[in-house]
Amino acid sequence: MTHLRQLMLEELRRRNFAGTTIDSYIHGVEHFSRYFHRPPDQLGPEHIRQYQAMLFSKLKFSPNTVIVRLAALRFFYVHVLKKNWSIAETPYPKKVLHLPKILSQQEVARLIDAAKFPLHRILLMTLYATGARRAEVAHLKVSDIDSQRMMVHIRGGKGSKDRDVMLSPKLLEALRVYWRGLPRKPKTWLFPGNRRHTAEHPISTKLLWAACHSAAKRAGLEHKRVHPHTLRHCFATHLLEAGADLRTIQMLLGHRDLEETTIYLHLSRRHLSATGSPLDTLTIRGAEESTRKA
């Protein structure tokens, strides 16, 4: 896989794919190759068909995960091997849309309070206060915190787009406490890697997963399956419930299309409770008689 892997990496980087997408695509092709114990350039449509069926039947992958695996294989065959890809022979499964799970504001406070380490606590606060993705938080730079304008600059978000989000005064104060506690003040990364936070590289996104998992367990919220993106969903939903408009939330989240943001209308209690059920407008004779008899 070495030569083919390098070619695929070059093609992905040429098209400026996000780091997480690159990792996902490379892993997908490697898994496909290992399953058949053969180099991927020696495998064809029939192998892809068998592999797709196996992902559903044996590994029990969700349709959305299978779509990502097929997208990785399609990229490899079309852009690396320069071969044709038949949609008819390799149909994508129908995408399943699930409403994300949301924590109440009280539960978010419990989660943050239950953080095991000070670094975990500041990471959870940053995720919730900015609505940033885990990779965006991990790659924040010291210069991205603008206390004069009270803004946080998010660099290289999804689609390689920069954006500004609000800097919460409470988050700013927590960041200053965190900064004063660092043994060596970093020059570049706001959250430097290694145990002493002195590395020349940022923390891994896995640390944000660990912070969420550990705090959720300590707060008795493990049944909610809390992960970094949960706090992004909470950020958007709680803003909507507080009266923010969808267009503003779209800009803060860095969504390309407003339709992506409308999912939070299904999660906002304020918007759901503002619309009554049509049942409440009916006069049901049987129900009234039952009430009088009771």
Instruction: List pLDDT tens digits, range 164-196.
Output: 999 999 999 999 999 999 888 888 999 999 888
Task: Establish if 294 belongs to a structural domain.
Answer: no
Other C-beta atoms closer than 10 Å to the C-beta of 205 total 18
Task: Establish if 236 belongs to a structural domain.
Answer: yes
- Tell me whether residue 186 is exposed, middle or buried, using C-beta atoms within 10 angstroms of its C-beta: 0 to 12, 13 to 18, 19 or more: middle
Question: Given 69, 120, 121, 255, which residue is catalytic?
Answer: 255
Q: What integer is the mean pLDDT of 285-290?
A: 62
Question: Quick one: 128 and 269 in the same domain?
Answer: yes
Question: Quick one: 149 and 230 in the same domain?
Answer: yes
Question: Given 133, 134, 233, 238, which residue is catalytic?
Answer: 133
Closest Cα to residue 234, out of 266, 209, 267?
267
Question: Quick one: 210 and 147 in the same domain?
Answer: yes
**Number of domains the chain contains:** 2
What's the pLDDT score for residue 5?
93
Cα dihedral across residues 274, 279, 284, 290: positive or negative: negative
266 counts as catalytic: no
Tens of pLDDT, residues 127-176? 999 999 999 999 999 999 999 999 999 987 676 688 999 999 999 999 99
Phi and psi for 82 in degrees, rounded to 5? 60, 40
Element (H, E) at 146: strand 145-146
Question: Quick one: 43 and 166 in the same domain?
Answer: no
264 counts as catalytic: yes
Closest Cα to residue 135, out of 23, 246, 59?
23
Query: What is the model's pTM?
Result: 0.78
User: If you ran DSSP here, which 8-state letter would residue 202 be given?
Assistant: B
For residue 70, give its domain range. 2-80
Tens of pLDDT, residues 17-61? 888 889 999 999 999 999 999 999 999 999 999 999 999 999 999
Question: Quick one: 58 and 113 in the same domain?
Answer: no
158 counts as catalytic: yes
Task: Provide the b/e sequence for 7-24 (b: ≥16 CB within 10 Å).
Answer: ebeebbeeeebbeebbeb
CA atoms within 13 A on the CB side of 112: 19
Question: Quick one: 111 and 241 in the same domain?
Answer: yes
- Tell me whether residue 112 is exposed, middle or buried, using C-beta atoms within 10 angstroms of its C-beta: 0 to 12, 13 to 18, 19 or more: buried
Question: Quick one: 163 and 266 in the same domain?
Answer: yes
Task: Establish if 292 belongs to a structural domain.
Answer: no
Task: Establish if 75 belongs to a structural domain.
Answer: yes
Question: Given 74, 158, 224, 227, which residue is catalytic?
Answer: 158
Task: Establish if 159 belongs to a structural domain.
Answer: yes
Tens of pLDDT, residues 239-275? 999 989 999 999 999 998 888 888 888 877 777 776 6
User: Is the pLDDT reported for residue 293 higher than 70?
Assistant: no
Q: What is the CATH number of the domain that holds 60?
A: 1.10.150.130
Question: Quick one: 234 and 127 in the same domain?
Answer: yes
Question: Given 31, 79, 155, 229, which residue is catalytic?
Answer: 229
255 counts as catalytic: yes
